[in-house]
Amino acid sequence: MPSAGSLPLPDRAHALELLHGMLRIRRFEEKSAELYTLGKIRGFLHLYIGEEAVAVGSMQALTADDNIVATYREHGQALARGIPAGGLMAEMYGKVNGCCRGRGGSMHFFDVARRFYGGHAIVGGGLPVAVGLALADRMQKRPRVTACFFGDGAVAEGEFHESLNLAALWRLPVLFLCENNLYAMGTALDRHQAQPDLRVKAAGYAVPAEAVDGMDVLAVESATCRAAHAVRRDEGPFLLELRTYRFRAHSMADPELYRAKEEVERWKSRDPIDLFMSSLRGWGLLTDADLAAMEAAVAREVDEAVAIAEAGPWEPLEDLTRDVYTVNEP
Amino acid sequence: MTKMTYREAVRSALREALRNDPRVFLMGEDVGRYGGCFKVSHGLLEEFGPERVRDTPLSESTFLGAGIGAALGGMRPIVEIMTVNFSLLAMDQIVNNAATLRHMSGGQLSVPLVVRMATGGGRQVAAQHSHSLEGWYAHIPGIKVVVPGTPADARGLLLAALQDPDPVFVFEPSALYGVDGEVDEAAGPGEIGRALVLRPGDAASLITYGGCVGKALQAADQLGVEGIAVEVLDLRSLRPLDTAAVLASVARTHRAVIVDEGWRTCSFAAEVSALIMEGAFYSLDAPVGRVCSAEVPMPYARHMEDAALPQVPAIVAAVRETLGSHG
Amino acid sequence: MPILTVDMKAGTLTRWRKQVGDAVKRSDIIAEVETDKGLIDVEVFTSGVLERILVQAGETVPTGTALAIIREEAGAAAPAAPLVSAPPIPAAVVPAAPMPAPPGVPVETPGRVRISPLARKLAAELGVDPSSIRGSGPGGAIMREDIERAAAARIPSPVTAAEPPDRQARMRQLIGAAMARSKREIPHYYLSTTIDMARTVEWLTEGNLKRPVTDRLLTGVLLIKAVALALREVPELNAVWRGAAAVPSQAVHIGVAISLRGGGLVAPAIHDADRLSVGDLMAAFRDLVRRARGGGLRSSELSDPTITITSLGEQGVESVFGIIFPPQVAIVGFGKVAERPWVVDGQVVPRPLLTATLSADHRVSDGHRGGLFLGAVERLLQEPEKL
C-alpha cells in the first residue's frame, strides 16, 4: 500500500479510471480463458491476469503520439491503449472484423492508428523494432517516446543487450519496460541469469534504470511518468523494471510444474486490483455503488466484445494471399 | 553513358538517393568512417554526415530490426549487412518481422526497407565467408530478392528497391565490385521482377544470375565459336521471378541449363527447373541441367575452391550434355 | 471437458475437487484433468451449486463432453464446462495455393509437335509418325496412349488421289512394329484342335444349292459365327488390354484378317458378330473385303476388334498360330479344310478336317480356358444349323 503520508491522494475520477482500467483487463482475460476452453479461441493464449497494474499504470505516461511495442502477452497493453475490446476478441476468434483481420490471433495485436506495433511472439524480437521506431522519431525530430514492453526472459536474448547498447549509443527515446514476473515461461529468473539484478545490466550499457513495485498501480504510474519525462527530454533510453507476477500459467497449456502453489497464493495476496480497491476504500474514494456500477459496465463491455466476435464473418478463402506484399503480384 | 565499376554504380545510386530523399539513410558496419568494407560507401559520410550514414555496432539482429522499425516510422533505411554470411544473425528479424509484419497486422503495415548484402565466394575466404544464400531468401513470402549482375543493374535495381513499399534484399556479388560496365546515370530506376536476355540464341537457354553471369557469357562465347548459339538469360530478380521470360526462352531453344552459385541441393536452380517442367514440359527436348556449387563447405585452398564453384568448363559441358553430345 | 492445451481432443478427469451439493464460485477449481502437458486445473466460469457429476474420476472423454451440472443461483441448471459448440469454420475446401497465372502458352516453333518424351520414344520404336496423330493430352499433347492406339489400329493414311509411294512400306513398318511389340510384351500360349467339319460341309453344301450365287455362304462365315458364340462361353478371350489389366468387352467384334493386293494385311471388325445371322454375317464379310481391298475402311472398324480370326486355308496352310494384335488378348487361326483319315466308331474313315488354333495372352487366360473355348468352337460346328 502506498504510503499515503508522502503522496497526495489521487484525484477520485482518475483513481476510478485506473481501477476501471485494471478491472476491464481482468474480466476480459477471464472471459478469454473461458472461451479458450470452449474452443472459440485457439492456438496460444497468454493471460495478463495479475499484471494489470503494469499496463494501466504505464499507459498513463504515454500520449497518443507515442509508440508501443509489446510481447505476446499484450492484451493488457492493447486494452489500456484503447484498442476496442470487440476488435481484440474478434481477432482471437480469427474473424475478419478482428483488429488484424484474423491473421494474427492473440499474440499479434496491431493497431497502427493507435501506434500499437504488436504483438511479438519471438522473445526479444520487438526490441530492435522499438529501437528503429525511436530512431525514426529522432531523425525526423519528433518528440515521441517508444515504450517497449518485454519480459524478464527477453533479458537473456542477444537483442536485449544489442538494443540497450544501440539505444544508448545513439541516444534514442526508448522507454524499456521490463515486466519482470520472475519466470521466463517455466524458468525462474535466478536460474537463467547469473546477474538477476536488471539495474546492474542496464548500467552496463549506460542506461539509467529503476525498479518498481508492479502490483501498485500508482507506483507504476508515477515511475513511468518520471522515466518517460526523462526520455522525452532527450536524455536517451531508460529501463524500468516492473516487479510483477502472473497469477495464471504461462499460457493456457501450462501445468505450472515449475512454481509452488504457495508462492502463487502469496502473490495473489498482493492482487493489484484488490490492493488498489482497499486503498481507495481506505481513502474514501470508492463506494460499493461505484464498484457495482464499474463491474456492470465492464461486464457489458466484455459481453459486447464477445457478441462482436461471435457475429463477425470469416475472411473469404479467396483472400488467402493478400497482404503479403503491399502491391499484390498479378 | 559512363563507364564505371559495379561499386561505383552502387555508390552513385546511394548518393542519388541520399540527395533526393531526406528519408533515406544508410546504416551498417563500417559504412561511414571506413568507407564500406568493399569501399562502396566511400566518401558518403563526408558528404552526408553521421545522421545519414551511420556506423553501427556489430549487432546485425538489432540494427536490421532497427531498420524495420525505422521503416515503420516513416524513414527509408538502407541497411548494409556486410556480407550475406553475417545476415544469419539477423534471420529472425528478417523472417519473423520484415517478411511478416504486413501480413500479421492484417495489411496495416508496410516495411519499406532495403537491405544490401555482398554475396558469393571465390576469394579464398573459406567456409564462413563464402555463402550464396539468395535461394534461402527467395523462399520467403513477404520479401523481395534481387541480384544485379551488371553495374547498370546494380544502380537501377537499388533505386527500384528504394521505391518499393516492401522489404527488398539486394545481393551484390562481391566478385563483381571491380567489374566495369556502361551506366546511364540519368536513367530512372530499373524494374524488379524482369529478367533480361543478354544474348539471344536457339540451341539452349543458359539461365543464371549475379556472379555467374560472366561465366555464362564466356561459356556462350566458347560454344558460339563451334556454331552453337546459346541464349543467355540474366534473371536479375529471384523473387518475384520473371517466369514468363524463362518459359519463353525455353520455348525458343527447347533446352535449358541453370547456373547457380548456391549448393546444388535445394538450390534456386531447382526452383527454376521445376517451373520449367511445369510450364514448358512439352517444349523440352532434354532434361533441364543445373550447374551449381559442390556439396561442401567452401574450402580455402585455391584449387579446391575453384573446383567447388561453377566454372566455365562445367557450364559448357552441361550445355553439350543437353544437346546430346559430350566433349 | 474443456480444451486446455493447443491440440487437445480428449482428457482424463483425474480428480474432483468439489462434491455434489458443494457451492461453487466463479474461478473456483472444480476438478483436475490429465493432458499430454500434465495435470491442469479446471475452473468453473459460473457460480451456483454442484448438482450432478456426469463424468467420474478416471474417465477419459472427448473435449466438449459435459462433466457436471451446476445449478446456477437463479435456479436454472447449467452444465459446468458447457458443451463446446463447434465453431463454424468455413468449408475445408481450401483453394489450391493460387499458382501465378501461367503465362500464355508460348508460341511453338512451327512444325514442332507437342508430344511427351515417352510418347516420342514409343513412336520411334513403333514407327508411328507423330505429326499424323491428334493427341489426347493437355493442349493437344501426344501421350503414350495415343501412339499405342495408332500403332494398334494401323490406320492407313486416307486414300487420296495421289497415294504416297511409300505407303505400303510404311504400313509394313507399322505392322512390323506392332507385331514385334506384341511378341515382346504378351506371353503367348498356343493350343490347337482338329475339328471334324463333315456336318458343317454337308449343311453348307445343301444350303448353298438353294441359295442364289450372290447369297452363298462361305465356310469362313460359319467359323466366324462359331467363334463369336464360343466367346460367350469363355468371355475373357473377348477382352481388351488396358494399361495393366484386361477389360472384358460387352460386345463381340470379330476382326477378320484380310490380305491386301500388293501385300499387307488389315483386320477390320465385323461388329456384334454374335448377334448377326449367318446371312447377315456373310453380307458384312463381303462388304468388308470389298472395302478393305478398295481402301474404304472406317478407322473404327480397324480399332474395334475384340478378337481376330486369321484364316489361311485358301493358301493351303494346315494350321496357323497367329500373333495377337494388341490390345486384344487372343487370336484364332484356321487352316484349310481337307480330307484326311479320321477314326469314327473304331473305323478309319476319310473326313473333312480343319485345324483350329488359339494363340492367347497368358496374363488373361490359361490353357484350361483356352481349351474350353476351342472345345466350344468344335461343338458348335457340329450343329451348323444352329449357328
* Nearest beta carbon to residue B244 from set C103, C117, C139: C103
Q: Please judge whether C103 and B281 are an interchain contact, meaning their C-beta atoms are less than 8 angstroms apart.
A: no
Q: Which of C30, C26, C68 is nearest to C48 (CA)?
A: C26
Domain A13-317 has CATH 3.30.1490.20: no
In chain C, which residues have their Cβ closer than 8 Å to the Cβ of B284? Answer: 117
What separation, in Å, do the N-terminal and C-terminal C-alpha atoms of chain B show? 41
| Crossing angle of the two packed helices A12-37 and A85-93, in degrees rounded to 10 | 10
- C108: distance to nearest CA of chain B, Å? 6
* Nearest beta carbon to residue B70 from set A108, A121, A135: A135
Mutate: best of C112, C113, C121, C136, partner B, most B CBs <10 A: C112
| Crossing angle of the two packed helices B6-20 and B151-163, in degrees rounded to 10 | 30
Give the neighbours of chain A: at least 3 Cβ pairs within 8 Å: B, C
- Is A129 in the B-facing interface, judged by CB distances under 8 Å? yes
Can you name the residues that pair with A178 across neighbouring β-strands?
A: A150, A241
**Predicted pLDDT at B325:** 58
Chains A and B form CB pairs within 8 A to the count of 149
Domain parsing of chain C, residue ranges: 10-80, 117-155+164-185, 188-386
- Is B266 in the C-facing interface, judged by CB distances under 8 Å? no
| Spatial separation of the C-alpha atoms in residues C303 and C310, rounded to whole Å | 16
- Chain B residues 38-57 within an 8 A CB cutoff of chain A: 51, 54, 56-57
**Predicted pLDDT at C162:** 43
Contact yes or no for A21/A56 (Cβ under 8 A)? yes
Residue B322 CB partners (closer than 8 Å, separation 6+):
B204, B255, B256, B257, B285, B286, B287, B288, B289
Q: Which CATH number fits domain B196-323: 3.40.50.12280, 3.40.190.100, 3.40.50.920, 3.10.20.520?
A: 3.40.50.920
Q: Is B139 a catalytic residue?
A: no
- Is B244 in the C-facing interface, judged by CB distances under 8 Å? yes
- C92: distance to nearest CA of chain B, Å? 22
Strands (E), chain A: 67-71, 116-120, 146-151, 174-180, 183-184, 187-188, 209-213, 238-243
Residue C143 has pLDDT above 90, yes or no: no
- B313: distance to nearest CA of chain A, Å? 38
**Predicted pLDDT at B32:** 94
In chain B, which residues have their Cβ closer than 8 Å to the Cβ of A128? Answer: 61-66, 68-69, 93
- What is the arithmetic mean of pLDDT over A36-55? 95
DSSP-H helix ranges across C127-253: 144-153, 167-185, 198-210, 219-233
Residue C158 has pLDDT above 60, yes or no: no
Q: What is the ipTM of this complex?
A: 0.91
CATH class of C10-80: mainly beta
Contact yes or no for A128/B63 (Cβ under 8 A)? yes
**Predicted pLDDT at C4:** 86
Residue C145 has pLDDT above 90, yes or no: no
Q: What topology is assigned to B2-183 in CATH? A: Rossmann fold (3.40.50)
- What is the arithmetic mean of pLDDT over C220-243? 92
- Is C98 in the B-facing interface, judged by CB distances under 8 Å? no
In chain C, which residues have their Cβ closer than 8 Å to the Cβ of B244? Answer: 103
Average pLDDT over chain A, rounded to an integer: 94
Mutate: best of C40, C42, C83, partner A, most A CBs <10 A: C40
**Predicted pLDDT at C104:** 45
Nearest Cα residue in chain A from B65: A128
Q: Sorting pLDDT into bands at 50, 70 and 90, what band is C133?
A: confident
Q: What tens digit of pLDDT does each residue of A224-244 get?
A: 999 999 999 988 999 999 999
Chain centroid, CA B314 distance in Å = 21
User: Locate cell 491503449: which residue?
Assistant: A81
Domain parsing of chain A, residue ranges: 13-317
- What is the arithmetic mean of pLDDT over A9-15? 93
Nine cell digits for residue A44: 496460444
- B324: distance to nearest CA of chain C, Å? 15
> For the whole model, what pTM was predicted?
0.74
Mutate: best of A37, A89, A298, partner C, most C CBs <10 A: A37
Tell me, what amino acid is at C155?
I
Whole-number percent of chain A with pLDDT over 90: 88
Domain with CATH 3.40.50.970 in chain B: 2-183
Q: Is B60 a catalytic residue?
A: yes
- What is the arithmetic mean of pLDDT over A133-151? 97
Average pLDDT over chain C, rounded to an integer: 84
Residue A281 has pLDDT above 70, yes or no: yes
Residue A77 has pLDDT above 80, yes or no: yes
In chain B, which residues have their Cβ closer than 8 Å to the Cβ of A140? Answer: 73-75
Mutate: best of B254, B278, B282, partner C, most C CBs <10 A: B282
* Nearest beta carbon to residue A132 from set B72, B109, B110: B72
In chain A, which residues have their Cβ closer than 8 Å to the Cβ of B61? Answer: 128, 158-159, 162
Three-state helix/strand/coil letters over A152-172: HHHHHCHHHHHHHHHHHHCCC
- A104: distance to nearest CA of chain B, Å? 5
Q: What's C385's DSSP letter?
A: G
Render each residue's pLDDT in chain B as its tens digit; 327 residues: 999 999 999 999 999 999 999 999 999 999 999 999 999 999 999 999 999 999 999 999 999 999 999 999 999 999 999 999 999 999 999 999 999 999 999 999 999 999 999 999 998 999 999 999 999 999 999 999 999 999 999 999 999 999 999 999 999 999 999 999 999 999 999 999 999 999 999 999 999 999 999 999 999 999 999 999 999 999 999 999 999 999 999 999 999 999 999 999 999 999 999 999 999 998 888 899 999 999 999 999 999 999 999 999 999 999 999 998 543
Residue A85 has pLDDT above 80, yes or no: yes
**Predicted pLDDT at C82:** 44
**Cis link prior to B240 (omega < 30° from 0)?**
yes
**Predicted pLDDT at C97:** 45
In chain C, which residues have their Cβ closer than 8 Å to the Cβ of B283? Answer: 106, 108
Q: Which of B19, B47, B21 is nearest to B31 (CA)?
A: B47
**Predicted pLDDT at C89:** 53
In chain B, which residues have their Cβ closer than 8 Å to the Cβ of C100? Answer: 243
Contact yes or no for C35/C4 (Cβ under 8 A)? yes
In chain B, which residues have their Cβ closer than 8 Å to the Cβ of A127? Answer: 62, 65
Q: What tens digit of pLDDT does each residue of B42-86 get?
A: 999 999 999 999 999 999 999 999 999 999 999 999 999 999 999
Q: What tens digit of pLDDT does each residue of C91-121 get?
A: 444 444 444 444 444 445 566 788 888 888 8
- Is B277 in the C-facing interface, judged by CB distances under 8 Å? no
* Nearest beta carbon to residue C4 from set A252, A314, A321: A252
Active-site residue identified among B42, B129, B139, B254: B129
- Is B105 in the A-facing interface, judged by CB distances under 8 Å? yes
Contact yes or no for C211/C217 (Cβ under 8 A)? yes
**CA distances for A293 relative to A52, A90, A296, A298, C25, angstroms:** 20, 26, 5, 9, 21
Superfamily in which the C188-386 domain is placed by CATH: Chloramphenicol acetyltransferase-like domain (3.30.559.10)
Active-site residue identified among B8, B16, B29, B60: B60
- What is the arithmetic mean of pLDDT over C115-134? 85
